[in-house]
Amino acid sequence: MSERPLEFAPSNETERRAALVEEFVNEVLRLPWTLVTDGTTLVDFEGVRTELELSEACQEHYGMGLGHLHFQMPLYLLLDELEAARQRRDFPN
């Protein structure tokens, strides 16, 4: 067994959005915790909830459903889009 320490992907962008990440993990993924890095996508959570369930949860929570590309993009970028959708919903012009 190797004694090299584990190396994780960077998480600078994710750490800047820590509150959004925590909210998403708890409210949408319905997980008590998870490791999220800048390379994390929704595909990494396959089996936790179906794509339809995730899309419906995002629609309910943020006012925006998910398309195919949303499952491929880094989670921190998706969270930016979801937060912008929530702001548009909660504070319309």
pLDDT tens string 10-23? 999 999 999 999 99
Count Cβ atoms within 10 A of the Cβ of residue 48 and give its class: 0-12 exposed, 13-18 middle, 19 or more buried. Answer: middle
Any domain includes 69: yes
Residue 7, pLDDT score: 80
- Higher-confidence residue of 10 and 7: namely 10
Q: Write the CB contacts of 25 (distance below 8 Å, at least 6 apart in sequence).
A: 31, 33, 34, 36
Structural domains counted in the chain: 1
Domain range for 61: 12-90
Any domain includes 1: no
Q: What is the pTM of this model?
A: 0.89
Any domain includes 72: yes
Any domain includes 2: no
- pLDDT-derived band at 63 (thresholds 50, 70, 90) equals very high
Looking at the predicted structure, is the pLDDT value of residue 79 above 90?
yes
For 1-93, where are the alpha helices, taking DSSP H only?
A: 12-16, 18-24, 51-62, 75-90
Looking at the predicted structure, is the pLDDT value of residue 36 above 80?
yes
